[in-house]
Amino acid sequence: MIYETELFVSPEEAESEEAVKTIASQKLSIQKKSITFLRILKRSVDARAKTVRLNLRIRVYVGEIPTPVIHTKLLPDVSSAKPILIVGAGPAGLFAALRIASLGWKPVLLERGKDVRNRRFDLAAINKDQLVDPDSNYCFGEGGAGTYSDGKLYTRSTKRGDVNSVLETFVAHGASEDILVDAHPHIGTNKLPQIIISIRESLLQAGAEIHFQCRVKSLLVTNNKINGVVADAVDGEKTFLSGQVILATGHSARDIFEMLHRQQIRLEAKPFAMGVRIEHPQVLIDSIQYHCRPEEVGKLREHLPAASYSQVHQSNGRGVYSFCMCPGGIIAPCATGPEQVVTNGWSPSKRNNPFSNSGIVVSIEPEDYAHYSADGPLAGLRYQQALEKMAYVAGGKSQRAPAQRLVDFIEEKLSTDLPKTSYQPGIVSAPLHTILPPEISKRLQDGLKAFGTKMKGYYTNEAVLHGVESRTSSPVRIPRDKDTLEHVEVSGLYPCAEGAGYAGGIVSAAIDGQNCAEAAVSKAKLKL
C-alpha cells in the first residue's frame, strides 16, 4: 500500500526520519512499524507565521519497498556521427550537447573561455589584482555564467517534466538528490565545478568534441543558410563546418551581438533591468524572515537554512524588484572587459557566509535609452555599457565598486564610511544617487523604502549598495521562429537561451538548450 500526504513539522523533526515516521503514522492512522519506506517528495520552509515550520509532501510505503531511482548519464557512442556546432559551454550549450549526443549526433562545443579548473586562476586575478581576462572570468569559461554562482535552480518554467529532466541530469553528474525535493533548490559554487567536469566527461566519453579557448568571431552564411563558423583558437584561426549551429553565448557576449549586427543578421532591442547589489548582515535577514531577535538566530539556524527574500514594488509605472538573492553569499565582480564594473552574487552550498546579498533592479524600457537610438538594436546595450563605465570611473578605474549605505542613498548623502563588504576587490564611497540616472535611482529609492516597510529592519544603514547590477538579462533579442527555433532569416542558426533573450537563469537556459538541440537534430535528419 502507498500513501501520499502533507505534513507540517518543526525544523528539528524534519531532520529525523524517525520523527517524520511517527507524525506520518499518526496522520494516516497506521502503525509506525508497518512503514517499510518513506520518501520526501517536496520540502519547503513556511516562515509566514511566528513559528517557522517545514512543509513536507511525503510518500509512505506500507509492506513494500519502491524500486530505486537510478539517475543515468549513459550516452551512445557518437564519435563518428555527423557534427552539430554549439557555440558557448554555459548551461544552455552543455545541455544542448548532452541532448544532441543522446539523439545520436556529435556535439562540437566551441567555448571562448578556459576549462573550469583553469578558470579559477582568472577569477583570483580579478579579485586580487583587479585584472579582467575578456575570455575567462565570472561569465565566460566552461559552465558559463552559472558555474561560480549560487546555483539556484528555481525557474518560472511550468513544464515540470522539462525542469525535472534538468535536475535529474545534475543529480546524475553528482548534485545532491535534495535538489529534486527542495522547493527552492540550489547547488552552491563549491560543488558546481565538479558537476560541470562530470558533464564534460560524459560528453567526451560519448565522442563529443570540446574546444576551449576557441572564440567564434564570424558566421559562415550563404543565401540565408548557415554553413559553419570561424573562430580564433589557441593555435590560430579555425573553421568549423555544419549546417546547424546553436548560438548559446549568453548575454555578456557583446562581441557576438556586434558580430551579428555587422553581418546584418537581424537583432532587436528588448527590455531588461539594471540597478545595484545590496548587502545586509545575514543575521539581520534571518531575524526578519524567521521573526526572532538577532541573538536567537544562531539556535534557529542549527536546523534552518540561511533565510532569503523576494521583493517587488511598482514605482512610477515600472517594476523594482530583488533579483538573484544569495543568502550567506559573496558579491562577485562580473565584468567581462575593460572599463566595466559589474556586480552579481554567489553562495557556497552551505550558504554560511555572514552576508546576504541581492540585486535590486528597475525595469529598463526603450524610452530610457532613446538617446542611443542611432545604435538601432544595440541601443540598450550602449546604455548598459555607459552605466558600467560610470561605475568603473566612480570606483577609481579598477574593479573596486562604488558603494553607499542604504539610508544615505535614500537621504542623498555621501557615506562618510563604509562597513565590511564581501566584495573582494573592495569598495569606494560614492554618491550612487547621482551616479545612477534618475530613472533608476529615484525608483530604487522608492522601492527600497517600500521593501523596508514590508521587512522591518531591512531599511538600515548597515546595508550597503554596490554599483552596478547590470547583467540581469539580455538587452538584445536574436529573433527566432517559435516553431522551428531557427533565426527568422538564417536557416540552420539556432539563437539559444539567455543571450538570445529566450531564458533567464540556469534551469531555463538548460531547457532552452535541450529544445534547440531537438530542433537542430530534426532539421539535420531532414537533410540526410
Establish if 351 lies at the interface with ligand FAD (CB under 6 A): no
Nearer to ligand FAD among residue 14 and residue 464 (C-beta): 464
Smallest separation, CB 394 to ligand FAD (Å): 21
CA angle 89, 93, 98 (to 5 degrees): 110
Size of the site for ligand FAD (CB under 6 A): 45
Q: Does residue 149 bind ligand FAD (CB under 6 A)?
A: yes
Interface with ligand FAD includes 151 (CB under 6 A)? yes
Residues 167, 171: Cα–Cα separation, whole Å: 6
Among 11, 83, 141, 395, binds ligand FAD (CB under 6 A): 141
Q: Does 140 bind ligand FAD (CB under 6 A)?
A: yes
Secondary structure (H, E, C), 213-272: CCEEEEEEEECCEEEEEEEEECCEEEEEECCCEEECCCCCCHHHHHHHHHCCCCCEECCE
Give the shortest CB-215-to-ligand FAD separation in angstroms.
4
Interaction with ligand FAD in 233-292: which residues (CB under 6 A)? 248-250, 252-253, 256
Select from 59, 63, 97, 61 the least CA-distant residue to 78: 97
Is residue 506 part of the contact set for ligand FAD (CB under 6 A)? yes
Q: What are phi and psi of 438, to 5 degrees?
A: -60, -30
Taking the complex as a whole, the smallest distance from the CB of residue 145 to ligand FAD amounts, in Å, to: 3
Pick one of 290, 435, 505, 524: the residue that binds ligand FAD (CB under 6 A). Answer: 505
Among 383, 498, 501, 515, binds ligand FAD (CB under 6 A): 498
Footprint of ligand FAD on 18-77 (CB under 6 A): none
**Listed ranges 27-35, 61-69, 349-357, 495-503: which one lies at the site for ligand FAD (CB under 6 A):** 495-503
Q: Which is nearer to ligand FAD, 452 or 495 (CB)?
A: 495
Taking CB under 6 A as the rule, does residue 162 contact ligand FAD? no
Burial class (CB in 10 A: 0-12, 13-18, 19+), 208: buried
- The correct pick among 333, 492, 499, 501 for binding ligand FAD (CB under 6 A) is 499
Question: Which SS3 state, helix, strand or coil, does residue 345 take?
Answer: strand
**Distances in whole angstroms, Cα of residue 461 to Cα of each of 319, 414, 423, 464:** 24, 12, 17, 7
Closest to ligand FAD by CB, 119 vs 301, is 119
Q: Grid coordinates standing for 484?
A: 522551428
| 88 lies in the binding site for ligand FAD (CB under 6 A) | yes
- Cβ 357 to ligand FAD shortest distance, Å: 10
Task: Give how far the C-alpha of residue 66 lies from the chain's centroid of Cα atoms, to the nearest Å.
Answer: 34
Cα-to-chain-centroid distance, residue 429: 28
Please list every residue from 185 through 224 that binds ligand FAD, using CB under 6 A: 215-216
Helix (H), strand (E), coil (C) string for 260-293: HHHCCCCCEECCEEEEEEEEEEHHHHHHHHCCCC
Nearer to ligand FAD, 248 or 364 (CB): 248
Fill in the DSSP letter of residue 4: E
| Residue 213: HSE in the Cβ half-sphere, 13 Å Cα cutoff | 9
Instruction: Tell me which residues in 326-345 interact with ligand FAD (CB under 6 A).
Output: 332, 334, 344-345
With binding defined as CB under 6 A, does residue 126 bind ligand FAD?
Answer: no
- Of 83, 107, 146, 359, the one binding ligand FAD (CB under 6 A) is 146
Residue 330, C-alpha cell as written in the block: 559573496
| Residue 264 grid coordinates | 546584418
Closer residue to ligand FAD, CB minimum distance, 250 or 479: 250
Cβ-in-10-Å burial (0-12, 13-18, 19+) of 396 comes to middle
- Containing 166, the helix (H) or strand (E) segment is helix 160-172
Q: Give me the residues that bind ligand FAD (CB under 6 A), please.
A: 87-93, 110-113, 138-141, 144-146, 148-152, 215-216, 248-250, 252-253, 256, 324, 332, 334, 344-346, 497-499, 503-506, 509
